[in-house]
Amino acid sequence: EIVMTQSPATLSVSPGERATLSCRASQTISTNLAWYQQKPGQAPRLLIYGISIRATDIPARFSGSGSGTEFTLTIDSLQSEDFALYSCQQYNKGPPWTFGQGTKVEFK
Amino acid sequence: EVQLVESGGGLVQPGRSLRLSCATSGFTFGDYAMHWVRQAPGKGLEWVSSINWNSANIDYADSVKGRFSISRDNAKSSLHLQMNSLRTEDTALYYCAKDFSGWPSESFYYFDFWGQGTLVTVSS
């Protein structure tokens, strides 16, 4: 099983600032990495797939990068609606298809 | 507009059964693999089970294998999860999710649309 580890667990950011979230895989996962956003009471939302491809209607301030086992989600100029839980997921090898434990982006 | 609406959650005693359903609309359900993903309180997302478009390919997480059964009704655009021998550790919000890729492509195993979830609580 591929283990996904996210850091930090919580990130305190002020509106307008940049947020940088990390995700590490326990083995190489090629380009098969996705990021999701979760808000309480709402359906999770696909943000990024293929490491860096934004899903439909995702604003350009969200970007993904990385390779091999180390990946990053960057949110430029954080907006109020961006405060949420963010999870990475590998779909390179499975089952199981595994997620990180999440990074909560909170208001500083 | 793609919509996925889960139902069937509730409070159940350990050892009992529960059947979750996911009603879908806004896309050609029969063309897509579908998945169940859960999230225990304070924990990360956990993939539970997948079923491909024609039910020929089904997978389960080891934690639920032999106890849970996924099925689909393409005529009714619905997905189901039969959960037997429930344990306290099955307590979670259960999400129905649509695979990114549709027929004739194979499943991609990442999820472009999700429901809001249905809460399952297993407790005596």
Contact B112 A46 (CB under 8 A): yes
pLDDT at residue A78, rounded to an integer: 96
The per-residue pLDDT for range B86-113, each reduced to its tens digit, is: 999 999 999 999 999 988 888 889 999 9
Contact A4, A102 (CB under 8 A): no
Mutation pick from B111, B112, B113 vs chain A, by most beta carbons of A within 10 Å, is B111
Q: What is the Cα B65 distance to its own chain's centre?
A: 13
DSSP string over A40-89 = TTS--EEEEETTTEEPTT--TTEEEEEETTEEEEEESS--GGG-SEEEEE
Average pLDDT over residues A63-73: 97
Q: Which helix (H) or strand (E) holds B59?
A: strand B58-60
Task: List pLDDT tens digits, range B16-70.
Answer: 999 999 999 999 999 999 999 999 999 999 999 999 999 999 999 999 999 999 9
The whole-number pLDDT of residue B4 equals 98
How many CB atoms lie under 10 A from the CB of residue A12? Answer: 12
Q: Would you state the structure tokens that stand for residue A91, as one six-digit string? A: 């779909």
Confidence class of residue A71 from pLDDT cuts 50, 70 and 90? very high
Residue of B nearest to A90 (CA): B110
Among B50, B94, B105, which Cα is nearest to B72's? B50
What was the pLDDT predicted at B89?
A: 98
pLDDT the model gives residue A63: 98
How would residue A51 be classed by pLDDT, with cut points 50, 70 and 90?
A: very high
Q: What is the distance in angstroms between the Cα of A77 and the nearest Cα belonging to chain B?
A: 25
Residue A3 burial (C-beta neighbours within 10 Å; 0-12, 13-18, 19+): exposed
Contact B110 A96 (CB under 8 A): no
pLDDT digits (tens, 9 = 90+) for A16-43: 999 999 999 999 999 999 999 999 889 9
- What's the CA gap between B74 and A103, in Å, rounded? 36
Nearest CA among A87, A34, A25, A23 for reference residue B109: A34
Mean residue pLDDT of chain A comes to: 97
Q: If you measure CA to CA, which chain A residue comes closest to B47? A: A97
Bridge-based pairing of strands B32-39 and B92-102 is: antiparallel
Mean pLDDT of A89-104: 96
Q: In the structure, what pLDDT confidence band is assigned to residue B5 with cuts at 50, 70 and 90?
A: very high
